[in-house]
Amino acid sequence: MAKNRVFIDVVVDDKGTTKRVAVNAKKLGLELDKTGKSASTADRNLKGAAQTSSNATKNFSKMAQGISGGLVPAYATLAAQVFAITAAFNFLQSAADFGVLATGQEAFAKSTGIAIRSLSEDIVNATNAQIGFKDASQAAAIGLASGLSPDQLRDLGTAARDASAVLGRDVTDSFNRLVRGVTKAEPELLDELGIILRLETASKKYADALGKDVKALTQFEKSQAVANDVLAQSQEKFSAVLTDQQKLGNAVTKFGKSFENNLLKPFQEALAKGITPVIEFLTDNIPALAAAFALLAIPIMKAIVPALGEMGDAAQQAADDAADALEQEIRKLDEKKEALLEVERVENNTRKKAAQSAQKATKDLQARRGSGLETLQTGGIPTDRQLAGMIRAAEKGTGEYKKLSD
C-alpha cells in the first residue's frame, strides 16, 4: 500500500490530465478557426447585398456569391431575343440581295441579249450542282463583264468541279479562284489549284494560233489567251485523269446546294417580292419603324422585368440568410469560448487537487532546501530537473523516499 503513495504516481496522473486538456484545446482551436471562416463568408455576402464595399464591381461580385438567379435568366432571355432578331434580319437581307440580283439579271439580259439566269443554271449543272445559284450568278456577271464567253464560263465550272475532285477542295472556292484568276490575270490565285500561269507564255501561244505578233495582241485577246491557257491546263491536269464516276462529286455538298437552289432560292425570291414594299414603307416612315421596334421590344421587356424583380428578391433573401448565418456563427463562437473557459477551469482544479494530494502525501517527510520534495510540501509543482532527481531517489529508495516504501 505504501508504494501507491509515492509522489511519482501523483505526477503521472497530473501529466495525463494536462495532456487530455491540451488535446481538447487543440480541437477547440480548429473549430474556432472554422467558425471564423464561416463568419467571414457571411460578412462578405452581407456587404455585397448592402452595397457597402469600396466599388460597384466588388459589390456585385460579393452579392453574386450568395445569389443564384435573377440577372442570369434576364440576360439569357435578352440574348435569345437579340439572336433571333439578328438571324431574321440577316435572312431578310439575304433575300433582298437575291431580289436585287434577279432584277440585275433581267436588266443585263435586256441590254446584252444574254440570259444570265440561264447561264447561271448551266454553270451550276457544269459543277454537278456543287455550287449555289447565287455564287454562279455573281461569278457569271463578273466573267461576262470581263469579256469571257458563256461557253468559257461553263468550261470554268467544269474545271472547278474536276480540280476540286482531284485536290479535295471546295468547289465554290475553286470556281471563284478560276474566274478571278482568269479575269484579273493573277497567277497567285491559280497557284493553289496547281495551275501555273505565265502571261508571256500564254500570250505567245495565243498569238501563234492567230498568226499575229505578241505585241500586236489587244487587251481582249490577252484575256482570251489567259482563259485558254488556264482551261487547257485544267483539262490536262484534272479532267483527263478522272473517270465519269469520279466526276460525280461530294454527295453531301450536292445535297446542301440542291436544298439551297431548289427550295431556299424560290422562297427567298417570293419573300423578297413581298417584304420589299414593307421595308421601303418603314424606311420612309420613322414613326412606323419605331412602332415596329416597340412591338419587338414588348416580349423582351416582359421577360426581363419579372427577372429583375426576382433578382431583387433573391438578393434580399441572400442578405437575410447571410445575416441569420452570421448570427448563428456568433452564437456558436460564444458557446465555444465558454467551453474553452470551462476546460481551463477543469485544468486548474485538476492541478490544484494534484498539488494538494502530493502535499498531503509528503507532509511528514524531511525535505532538503530547494528539492522537489520541498516544492511538493509547499503546494507547488516541481521542475523537470527536480522530478528527475525525485525519480532517481525513489528508484534507489534513498533518503526520505525510503520511508515511503518501509
Q: What is the pLDDT along the chain (406 residues), one digit of tens a residue?
A: 444 443 334 343 444 443 433 334 444 445 545 545 554 554 555 454 445 545 555 554 554 544 444 556 666 767 777 787 788 778 777 777 767 777 777 777 777 777 888 888 889 888 888 888 888 888 888 888 888 899 999 999 999 999 988 888 889 999 999 999 999 888 898 988 999 999 889 999 989 888 888 888 898 899 999 999 999 999 999 888 887 655 666 666 667 767 676 677 777 777 767 777 777 776 777 887 787 777 777 766 766 666 666 666 777 788 888 888 888 999 999 999 999 999 988 888 887 887 777 777 777 777 777 777 777 777 777 788 877 877 777 777 666 666 655 5
Model pLDDT, residue 165 = 87
Would you say the pTM of this structure is higher than 0.85?
Answer: no
Task: Give the span between the Cα atoms of 177 and 180, in whole angstroms.
Answer: 5
**What cell does 327 get?**
448570427
Model pLDDT, residue 110 = 75
Who's near 78: CB < 8 A, 6+ residues apart? 300, 303, 304
CB 103 within 8 A of CB 116: no
**What cell does 276 get?**
420589299
Model pLDDT, residue 308 = 61
CA angle 367, 372, 377 (to 5 degrees): 60
Model pLDDT, residue 157 = 92
Who's near 33: CB < 8 A, 6+ residues apart? none
Model pLDDT, residue 305 = 65
Model pLDDT, residue 85 = 77
Q: What is the dihedral of CA 384, 386, 387, 388, to 10 degrees?
A: 90
Task: Give the span between the Cα atoms of 364 and 243, in whole angstroms.
Answer: 124
Task: Give the span between the Cα atoms of 99 and 272, in whole angstroms.
Answer: 6
